[in-house]
Amino acid sequence: MVDLNIRLAQLLKANTGAIVGGRMLKDDFLNEIRTNPDHIINKILKENDVYDWKPEAPTRIFYYKADDQVPYINSIIAYDTMIVNGASKLEIMDVNSTANHGTCFTPAMTNTLLFFLGFQSITIDVEDGLTELASWAIVSNPVDDVLQIVSKQNNYSIAIHDISGRNLMMRQISETIGNIDVSHLNVGMYFVTFTSQDGKAHATKKLIVAR
């Protein structure tokens, strides 16, 4: 199956100039679908639509105007239909108008994660909650421009990596409450690794930067 997909991608690239699945269909077949509302394909698609309803919970629709495989108008139609149906907690966003189907994946996942994290409620008891061996906690996560760390140790190091594993910054902390400037980091998800001075204790925690 993998070999077949690779071969299809190669043929699409060679014959049409881009790896777009819709270009596998012949022009006369596409024209028949577009001009005949009673075509069997259109009937099946209509029976299986997933947008003609009213979301009750907060909902956000992401789309990419330059997506070369999924028409962005799908999102516009879904949004307009849901508004007509009475949706009151609905938003729509063109996350990156220049991103194609391949380059849109990471920002789409990041923005989706940030959207749901906005409804997450976490309470940290600084005194009782630090039960890990390394005893580190990130206060008020997601953060804006300042990362605040509370620790039972007063001499340790931190390293911040992005989701691809790149080391973006390292700091040595010499107090139980540390404030780290992260205003230069883009909105998104990161990982903070804590290491004790003697190197025997380690901990890695998820960091969300949201503004």
Sign, Cα dihedral of 11, 17, 18, 21: negative
| Residues in the chain, total | 211
Return the pLDDT at 84.
97
In sign, the C-alpha dihedral spanning 155, 166, 109, 5 is: negative
Domains and CATH numbers, the chain: 1-48 (no CATH), 50-121 (no CATH), 126-209 (2.60.40.1220)
Distance, in Å, from the CA atom of 17 to the CA atom of 14, rounded to the nearest integer, reads 6
What is the C-alpha separation between 30 and 24, in angstroms, rounded?
10
pLDDT at 203: 83
**Per-residue pLDDT tens digits for 115-130:** 776 676 544 444 444 4
- In angstroms, how far is the first alpha carbon of the chain from the final one? 43
- Supply the pLDDT for residue 2: 59
Residue-level pLDDT at 123: 47
Q: What is the pTM of this model?
A: 0.55
Distance CA 155, CA 87 (A): 52
pLDDT at 73: 94
> Which runs of consecutive H residues, i.e. helices, occur in the chain?
2-16, 27-35, 40-47, 73-84, 105-117, 126-129
The pair phi, psi for residue 134, each rounded to 5°, is -80, -20
pLDDT of the residue at 1: 56
Structural Rg of the chain based on CA atoms: 24
Residues of the chain predicted below pLDDT 70:
1-2, 117-118, 120-134
**Residue-level pLDDT at 130:** 44
Q: What is the dihedral of CA 79, 82, 88, 91, to 10 degrees?
A: -20
Describe the strand order of the beta sheet including 156-162 as a list of residue ranges. Answer: 167-173, 156-162, 188-196, 202-209
